[in-house]
Structure 1
Amino acid sequence: MATPLEQAIRDSLAPLGFEVYPLKVGWYNGVLQPGFHLPYSEDALAYVVLSTPSMFEKAFKPFMKQQRLQRVRDPVDECVSYHLSLLKGNFPDQKLDVIYDYEMLPNRRPRILAQTAAHVSGAAYYYQRKDVQKDPWGEKKIYGVCIHPEFGGWFAIRAVLVFPDILVPFLEQRPPIDCVTTNEKRIALLESFNFHWQDWEYRDIVDVQERYSEEQKTYFATPPSERLKLLGLDGELTESSHY
């Protein structure tokens, strides 16, 4: 059963096509080297924020219509930031830190390893090379990828919300759903993600309830430098490639 705080967050974000999953900072820090730890109490409450396929219609397109006369650097990131800033305003009496998936530290390390956070929160299973037996890749660098039990690869991890002053020592950890269960399918997933990600096929490694619309696929398949033109907007775009 969701707490009043969690319900309030869901009530704000779910109608916009976002999902949230609670975690303790200690779950995240506990699986990473110290250089990647978040600087909060191990019992501090946090939430992973995912965008689902419907975010494009429910949040992004309305946001772009509202912002049409403004100079927008990165449309998707600006949209997410806008809505999470509004959410932050709903809790004026709580300290709330928002860590976006694209933020970097001065040493060029990511502020948050988003896929690890998604895994430990139970949001999506982070499939990595270590999850494969007798892998065929030799010396090749193989990147892992999160798969959602309902959306497969048709989602994105956008941010982690941290409430430093809310301690939840007894929060129960729920493991992510392992939906790519065979060694063969895990090899196929990582092969597709690492070597053929442009064809979208890795996203359908499981039966999905919803995919990106054709319009959304066209948007994300368009080179970042041309996306504003696609939206009918002028200005420069330095959009990151995550989606």
Structure 2
Amino acid sequence: MEPRVGLLEERIRAPLDRLGLESYSFKVGWYNAVLPPAFHLPYSENTLAFVVVSVPAMFDKAFKPFLKKHMLKKIHDPIDQCISHHLLLVRESLADYQVDIMYDYEMLPNRKPKFLAQTAAHISGAAYYYQRKDVEQDPWGEKKIFGVCIHPRYGGWFAIRALLVFPDVEVPFLLQNAPIDCVRTEKERIELLEKFNFHWQDWSYRDIIEAKEKYSEEQKTYFATPPAERLKLLNLSRGLQRNGVAVFPAKEECIA
């Protein structure tokens, strides 16, 4: 790893690790090389970036403390606000660099996502992006089949949250870390894509490998609950009403 990347990575990783967030470095050129031009990130190919993912510990280490300390803004999802709050603090701590932040829910004016989260996770080595092309004997015919990332330690019990891009930092000699292929057999890959596409609500695709840590029952209940009812689960609705704050989540995190 380039020395400059190592120093930056440590300054990002130290605060995020305490919050149940992980970061993985990559070059923008790796990302753009596997996508059509319409989805390219508008930076030079050697630009340094990091993908940020949340792991099961995030719920207790970052989300619940955030809800107790901060008044929620209108329209945004509380999880999104929590992630944004902490990444903005990271950016403030890196005032000697320009840092562009893109979130998984952000869209461009043409309604395309600002970045393709699963592609970013794959090329950074964070998680393996299993797609239809990874199955040799395709059993789905004309059906639309979406791909899904699997983390080597957490299986499907994680979420891709954001990109941190450093426009002024070029790392031409950065070496790419391949994602760990942890769903190796044809049978398991078919099972994974079947469960993710047709039975995602029962959580079973997340257990395609043995995870070292999963979402707690409280966390699973939170994400399985309709957005408008989630705050009641954390006994926070009374406090929010007292502060005169209405919460209208912008999206349902069906695969958070």
Which residue does the alignment assign to 2:43? 40
Q: Deviations over 1:59-112 (max 9, x none)?
A: 000000012x44453100000000000000001121000010111000000000
SS of corresponding position for 2:50 = strand
- 1:187 equivalent to 2:198? Answer no
- 1:241 equivalent to 2:252? Answer yes
Which residue does the alignment assign to 1:152? 155
> Identity percentage over the alignment?
64
Which residue does the alignment assign to 1:21? 24
C-alpha RMSD of matched pairs (Å):
1.2
In structure 2, C-alpha distance between the alignment counterparts of 1:28 and 1:107, rounded to whole Å: 20
**Where in structure 2 are the equivalents of 1:123-202 lying within 5 Å?**
123-202=126-205
2:232 is aligned with what amino acid?
A: K
**Where in structure 2 are the equivalents of 1:64-75 lying within 5 Å?**
64-67=67-70, 69-72=71-74, 73-75=76-78
**How many pairs align?**
242
Q: Provide structure 2 residue ranges, at least 5 long, that are not aligned to the other structure.
A: none
1:163 is aligned with what amino acid?
A: F
1:238 is aligned with what amino acid?
A: P
Which residue does the alignment assign to 1:103? 106
2:252 is aligned with what amino acid?
A: S
In structure 2, C-alpha distance between the alignment counterparts of 1:167 and 1:101, rounded to whole Å: 24
**Where in structure 2 are the equivalents of 1:206-221 lying within 5 Å?**
206-221=209-224
Change (3 A) 1:82 1:178: same
**Where in structure 2 are the equivalents of 1:73-88 lying within 5 Å?**
73-88=76-91
Task: Tell me how far 1:180 sits from its aligned partner.
Answer: 0.2
Which residue does the alignment assign to 2:119? 116
How does the TM-score come out when normalised to structure 2? Answer: 0.92
How does the TM-score come out when normalised to structure 1? Answer: 0.97
SS of corresponding position for 2:18 = helix
